[in-house]
Every structure is written in C-alpha cells, then in structure tokens.
Amino acid sequence: MNLETETKKWEGIRAEAIRNWDGLDYSKACDFLGLTPEFHDLYEAGCAERISLKERVSFFENQNTSNRYLDFYSEGMSLMNTSFESKANEKRKLLQKYFPKFNKSGNEPIDNLDDQDVGAIFSRLIHYAKKKGKTTVSQ
C-alpha cells in the first residue's frame, strides 16, 4: 500500500472515529497523520486506552512466556543431545510451535534454513529455556 492510499485510509478512520466518538481510533489516526487533535478529550481518552491495552498485552505476554519456555524445554529436551543437523525437522516443528516468529508468516521464518542452522537456533533456545525454567520454578 502506498503512502497516499494509507493516508486516505487513516483519514477515513479518523472521520469515522469522530462520528462514533471512538478515542482509540481517533488517537491512532491523528498520530499516523501527524495532526494536532481538535478534540483533546477524545484524543487523551484514546491514548489512555492504548496505554492500557499495551499494559494488558505485556502482562499476558509475560505470564505466557515462562510457561512457553517450560513447555518448549519439556517437549524438546529429548532432542538436546543430538548433533545440530540430527532430527532437524522435529526441532524446526518445535521451534515454530513455541516461537511464532519462526513460522512462514513470522518475521524470522526458518523453513529455508539448512539443518545445521536450525539445530544451532534450537540449541541456543533450549539452553535458554532450561535457565529460564529454573528461575521460574524457584520464584
């Protein structure tokens, strides 16, 4: 999408947000468009809602992170003592299961990496998960 199209999209979102008195979309649109908000209360309410949403997401991500590492370690520990390239498909599947950034649609897809590289990533993360799991259990 080019800048002109994106700008028109956000202008429409902003207009709709004013009609519906939707602070969240209004503040996002004003920020994207670089506009000084005409409705300060609406803008401030939207900013507060954005902060609240970020805090909630951050809280739940932190809650799920320790469980994710423990689960990854539990499921992957049987693959720890293999050579990097050994059982690379199993390692790849576990990495993609617990770390979405490694999926095809993620920001670091590993489908096209060679088996040695997948094994190296797996090894680093399984050792990190082991450490993280120890600190989580002891808390």
pLDDT band, residue 133 (cuts 50/70/90): low
Dihedral through CA 30, CA 32, CA 33, CA 34, nearest 10?
Answer: 80
Q: What is the mean pLDDT of residues 93-116?
A: 89
Q: Rounded CA gap, 70 and 64, in Å?
A: 10
Q: Rounded CA gap, 10 and 48, in Å?
A: 20
Residue pair 94/72 in contact by the 8 Å Cβ criterion: yes
Q: Which of 3-12, 84-93, 95-104, 129-138 has the lowest mean pLDDT?
A: 129-138
pLDDT, one tens digit per residue, over 52-63 is 766 665 555 555
Which range, 27-41, 68-82, 125-139, has the best average confidence (pLDDT)? 27-41
Number of H helices, E strands in the chain: 5, 0
Which residue type, as a one-letter code, is found at position 50? R
The reply to whether the predicted model has a pTM over 0.75 is: no
pLDDT band, residue 65 (cuts 50/70/90): low
Residue pair 70/129 in contact by the 8 Å Cβ criterion: yes
**Other CB atoms within 10 Å distance of the CB of residue 126:** 20
Q: Which of 15-19, 72-76, 121-125, 133-137 has the lowest mean pLDDT?
A: 133-137
Residue pair 126/77 in contact by the 8 Å Cβ criterion: yes
pLDDT, one tens digit per residue, over 107-131 is 889 989 999 999 999 998 988 888 7
